[in-house]
Chain A
Amino acid sequence: MKVLGKPRRRVDGRSKVTGQTRFADDVVLPRMLHMKLLRSPHPHALIENIETERAKNHPGVHLVLTGKDFPVTFGILPVTQDEYPLAPQHVRYVGDPVAAVVAKDEQTATQALDLIEVKYRILDTISSPEEALAKPEPRIHAYSERGNIHRLQAFEFGDVEASLKEADHVFEDLFFYEGNTHLPIEQHASVAALDGEGKLTLWSSTQVPHYVHKALARVLQLSPTRIRVIATPNGGGFGGKCDVCNHEMVAAKAAVLLGRPVKICLNREEVFYMHRGRHPVLMKFRTGVTRDGKLTAMHVQTLADGGGYGSYGAASTFYTGALQTVTYELPRYKFDAARVFTNKPPCGPKRGHGTPQPRFGQEVQLDKIAEKLGIDPADFRLKNILKANSLTANWLKVGSIGLAECIGQVVSRSGWKERHKRLPHGKGIGLACGSYLCGAGLPIYWNKMPQTGVQLLLDRSGQVTVFCGATEIGQGSDDVLAAIVAEVLGIDPFEIRCVTGDTGITPIDLGSYSSRVTVMMGNAAIQAAEKLKKLIAEAAAEQLEVLPERLSFADGKVFFEAKTLSFAEAVGFAEEKFGTLGAVGSYKPPRPPGRYKGAGVGPSPAYSYTACVVEAEVDPKTGWITVPKIWIAHDIGRAINPVLARGQVEGSVYMGLSEALMEEQVFRRLPPRLSGALVHKIPSLLEYKSLTSLDMPEVDTVLVEDPDPNCPFGAKEAGQGPLLPVMPAVANAIYDAVGVRIDELPITPDKVLRALQKKKNGEQPRVGPESFPQVPYPKPLIVPPPWEGGDGKEIKRNDAATVV
Chain B
Amino acid sequence: MRSNVQLRFTLNGEPVEASFAPYKTLLEVLREDLGLTGTKHGCELGECGACAVLIDGEPQLSCLALALECEGRSVETVEGMARGATLHPLQAAFADLGAAQCGYCTPGILLTAKALLEKEKQPSRERIREAISGNLCRCTGYQQIFEAIEEAARRMNEGPR
Contact = CB atoms under 8 A, between A and B. Distances in A.
A354 to B, nearest CB: 20
Given A16-B103, A685-B136, 15 more contacts: A17-B100, A23-B37, A185-B42, A185-B102, A187-B42, A234-B102, A235-B102, A268-B43, A268-B47, A476-B101, A646-B144, A650-B144, A655-B141, A684-B43, A699-B143
Contact of A186 (B42, B44, B77): B42
B132 A693 contact: yes
A654 B141 contact: yes
For the side of the interface on B, what is the size category? 35 or more
Interface in A363-414: none
A654 B140 CA distance: 8
Closest 10 CB pairs of A and B: A19-B38, A474-B102, A235-B104, A16-B103, A654-B141, A13-B95, A650-B141, A19-B78, A26-B37, A685-B47
Interface in B29-77: 31, 35-45, 47-48, 50, 77
A647 B140 contact: yes
A559 interface: no
A185 B138 contact: yes
A107 B2 CA distance: 12
Q: Which among B21, B79, B101, B102 has the greatest number of chain A C-beta atoms within 10 A?
A: B102
A268 B40 CA distance: 13
A670 B24 CA distance: 34
Contact of B101 (A20, A187, A651): A651
A10 B104 CA distance: 15
A774 interface: no
Interface stretch (B105-113, B115-123, B153-161): B105-113
A473 interface: yes
Nearest to B79: A19
A533 B50 CA distance: 44
B98 A685 contact: no
Contacts of A238: 138
Contacts of B142: 654, 693, 696
A686 interface: yes
Nearest to A186: B104
Interface in A637-688: 643-644, 646-647, 650-655, 684-686
Nearest to B2: A107
Contacts of B130: 694
Q: Which among B21, B37, B38, B141 has the greatest number of chain A C-beta atoms within 10 A?
A: B141
A798 interface: no
B44 A267 contact: yes
Given A19-B107, A651-B139, A14 B87 contact: yes
Contacts of A10: 95, 98
B13 to A, nearest CB: 16
B98 A684 contact: no
A652 B145 CA distance: 15
B37 to A, nearest CB: 4
A314 B44 CA distance: 35
Q: Which among B38, B44, B95, B103 has the greatest number of chain A C-beta atoms within 10 A?
A: B103
Contacts of A29: none
Contacts of A15: 103
B45 A684 contact: yes
B82 interface: yes
B96 interface: yes
A17 B102 contact: no
Contact of A185 (B50, B78, B134, B144): B50
Contacts of B10: none
Interface string A215-237: 00000000000000000011111
B97 interface: yes
A122 interface: no
Contact of A23 (B40, B129, B134): B40
9 contacts: A19-B36, A28-B35, A185-B136, A186-B102, A235-B105, A646-B98, A654-B140, A684-B43, A699-B143
Contacts of A212: none
Given A17-B106, A646-B144, A650-B140, A9 B40 contact: no
For the side of the interface on A, what is the size category? 35 or more
Interface of A: 9-10, 12-23, 25-26, 28, 107, 182-187, 233-238, 267-268, 473-476, 643-644, 646-647, 650-655, 684-686, 690, 692-694, 696, 698-699
Contacts of B104: 23, 184-186, 235-236, 474
Contacts of A14: 87, 95
B26 interface: no
A140 B146 CA distance: 48
Interface string B4-40: 0000000000000000010000000001000111111
Contact of B100 (A13, A184, A187, A686): A13
Nearest to A643: B98
Contacts of A646: 98, 144
A16 B35 contact: no
Nearest to A686: B47
A699 B40 contact: no
A650 B138 contact: no
A16 B95 contact: yes
A643 B102 contact: no
A12 B87 CA distance: 14
Contacts of B132: 693
A17 B94 contact: yes
A18 B140 contact: no
A647 B42 contact: no
Contacts of B48: 185, 685
Given A647-B139, A654-B141, A685-B136, A20 B38 contact: yes
A318 to B, nearest CB: 27
Contacts of B103: 12, 15-17, 21, 233, 235, 474
A392 B145 CA distance: 40
A684 B130 CA distance: 22
A303 to B, nearest CB: 28
A378 to B, nearest CB: 24
B133 interface: yes
A647 B87 contact: no
Contacts of A652: 141
A655 B96 CA distance: 23
Nearest to A238: B138
